[in-house]
Amino acid sequence: MYVQKKEDLQIGEKVSIIGKVNKIDSEIAHIETPLGTIPVKFKNLHCYTNQYLCINGVVDSALCIVEDDVINLGNDFDEDLFNEFVGISKNFSELF
């Protein structure tokens, strides 16, 4: 499931987010999405560039995503189109 804000995170759930790195603290990358910043415990810091990223992982007890993998989406990713798709897909879950 794609999430866009921290309030949508549920402990133990497998989630994906798309966004850009806002800042990095010791073990946490703060990923900026259209609806807020989501913390991610990273495993592969070298993957966290200034480009759009898709991060897949599991939500831990601190409402932080623990990274399973990271996909670099480049700089030409159309975030507005993707967010529109996510909104539509929630209304038609039988198709997606």
pLDDT band at 96 (very low <50, low <70, confident <90, very high): low
pLDDT in tens, 1-20: 888 888 889 999 999 999 99
Q: What is the DSSP letter of 14?
A: E
**Count of domains for the chain:** 1
Amino acid at 77: F
CATH number at residue 35: 2.40.50.140
Q: What is the pLDDT of residues 30-63, one digit of tens each?
A: 999 888 999 999 998 888 988 999 999 999 988 8
Strand 65-74, strand 36-41: pairing: parallel
Residue 25 domain-assigned?
Answer: yes
Q: Which domain holds residue 13?
A: 6-91
What global pTM score does this model have?
0.86
Q: Which pLDDT score is estimated for 62?
A: 85
The whole-number average pLDDT for the span 82-89 is 84
